[in-house]
């Protein structure tokens, strides 16, 4: 029996109107590590120590959307070197299923996670393994509790007699794994939206993408 750690992230928005600025895709993704991954965690922390100086503050960890390009490049280089397993599930919002969207954004989020997890869980875990699902702590307390419950329910729906599940909600800056998936989803989104491929080559060899609603 093994411990499997899945660090979870999001990209895009849950708006399904054609409002200006709305994303083409909404996506969920994971960076997965099996058993001890102290090496990557230490390397991420060491890079943070190395890059921080009076002009570059990394008080809350790395953030793909906020970090400066030189910092981004160093983080992407390290992720590429570590080569974690990355998976993303993207919903093509223009082709959304009315039966899913009509139930509201919380349901869409749970539905997206269900599609993602049931696609990969038995690639990364075996019967009897313990699955640790780690997501960033965001929103109000009730929103965090609702998300925790949804993720737990999604996970245990996947053959609960064979899998032990724990859901963790941490601040993004407290975990290199959450920063890895944040960076991975940011590069994936920009690539898929046709915005900027500067950092996509660092992520492309390590990520598997599935697009849903591709009518």
The residues pairing with 134 across neighbouring beta strands, listed in sequence order, are 7, 168
Q: Is residue 79 classed exposed, middle or buried when 0-12, 13-18 and 19+ CB atoms within 10 A define those classes? A: buried
Give the model's pLDDT for residue 159: 63
Split at pLDDT 50, 70, 90, the class of 13 is confident
Q: Do 144 and 151 contact (CB within 8 A), yes or no?
A: no
Asked if residue 210 has pLDDT above 90, the reply is yes
Asked if residue 76 has pLDDT above 80, the reply is yes
pLDDT, one tens digit per residue, over 95-113 is 888 888 888 888 888 888 8
Split at pLDDT 50, 70, 90, the class of 67 is very high
Split at pLDDT 50, 70, 90, the class of 207 is very high
pLDDT, one tens digit per residue, over 133-179 is 898 876 566 666 776 677 777 777 766 666 788 888 888 888 999 99
CATH superfamily of 3-212: Ribonuclease H-like superfamily/Ribonuclease H (3.30.420.10)
What 3-state class would DSSP assign to 9?
A: strand
Give the model's pLDDT for residue 133: 87
Q: Considering the entire predicted model, what is its pTM?
A: 0.91
* Angle between helical axes of 38-51 and 69-82 (0-180°, round to 10): 160
Q: What ranges do the domains of the chain cover?
A: 3-212
The per-residue pLDDT of the chain, averaged, comes to: 88
- Return phi, psi of residue 195, to 5°: -95, -50
Split at pLDDT 50, 70, 90, the class of 45 is very high
């Amino acid at each position: 029996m093994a411990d499997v750690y899945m660090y979870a992230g999001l990209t895009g928005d849950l708006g399904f109107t054609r409002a200006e600025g709305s994303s083409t895709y909404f996506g969920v993704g994971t960076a997965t590590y099996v058993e001890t991954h102290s090496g990557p965690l230490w390397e991420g922390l060491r890079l943070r120590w190395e890059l921080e100086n009076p002009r570059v503050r990394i008080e809350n960890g790395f953030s793909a959307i906020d970090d400066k390009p030189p910092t981004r490049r160093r983080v992407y280089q390290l992720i590429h070197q570590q080569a974690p397993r990355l998976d993303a599930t993207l919903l093509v919002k223009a082709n959304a299923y009315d039966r899913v969207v009509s139930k509201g954004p919380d349901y869409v989020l749970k539905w997206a996670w269900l599609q993602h997890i049931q696609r990969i869980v038995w690639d990364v875990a075996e019967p009897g393994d313990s699955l640790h699902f780690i997501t960033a702590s965001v929103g109000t307390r009730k929103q965090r509790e609702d998300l925790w419950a949804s993720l737990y329910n999604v996970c245990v729906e996947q053959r609960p007699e064979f899998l032990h599940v724990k859901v963790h909600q941490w601040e993004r800056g407290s975990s290199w794994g959450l920063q890895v998936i944040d960076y991975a989803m940011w590069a994936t989104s920009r690539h898929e939206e046709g915005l900027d491929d500067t950092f996509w080559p660092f992520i492309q060899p390590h990520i598997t993408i599935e697009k849903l609603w591709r009518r």
